[in-house]
Amino acid sequence: MITLIKTEQSKISDNEISILNGKISIPKNYLREKAFLENTSVLVISGSLIEGIGTIHSDIDCIILCEQRPKASSIKNCEHALVTDINYHYITQEEEVHNTTNFYGDTSIHIDADYITFSDLKDIIVKIERAFDEITDDQRFLYDPVLSNTENNVIHRLLIGHALENDEKFHQLKAEIPLEKHIYVAHREKLPVFYAFQDIQGCWQSGNLWMGCEIARDMMLKTTMSFTYLTGTTNKHYKWVYSNMFRVNGFDDIKNNFFSLARRGAVTETECRSYIQDTLSYMDDVFLAIEQLLKTSNIYPSTQQSLSALDEEFNKRKQTKHKISMCEYHFRKKYFAAEGTPSLISLLKEWEREEHIA
Residue 21 backbone phi and psi in degrees, to 5: 60, 35
Q: How confident is the model at residue 77 (pLDDT cuts 50, 70, 90)?
A: confident
Q: What pLDDT sits at residue 350? A: 86
Mean predicted confidence (pLDDT) in 33-39: 95
* pLDDT tens readout for residues 209-238: 999 999 999 999 999 999 999 999 999 888
For residue 256, what are the β-bridge partners?
Answer: none
Band of pLDDT at residue 355, cut at 50, 70 and 90: low
Mean pLDDT of the region 30-44: 96
Which tens digit of pLDDT belongs to each residue from 174-208?
Answer: 999 999 999 999 999 999 999 999 999 999 999 99
The pTM is what?
A: 0.94
Average pLDDT, the chain: 95
pLDDT at 352 over 90: no
Write phi, then psi, for 191 (nearest 5 degrees): -60, 135
Which residues make Cβ contacts (< 8 Å) with residue 278, sequence separation at least 6?
261
Which residue type sits at 356? H
How many of the other CB atoms lie within 10 Å of CB of 339? 11
* 131-158 CB burial, b ≥16 within 10 A, e <16: bbeebbeebeebeeebbeeebbbbbbbb
Q: For 60-70, what is each residue's pLDDT tens digit?
A: 999 999 999 99
- In this prediction, what percent of the chain has a pLDDT beyond 70? 98
Q: How far is Cα 14 from Cα 17, in angstroms, rounded to an integer?
A: 9
pLDDT at 351: 81
Task: Give the separation between CA 62 and CA 45, rounded to whole angstroms.
Answer: 5
Indicate if the pLDDT at residue 357 is higher than 60: no
Residue 358 is predicted with a pLDDT of 46
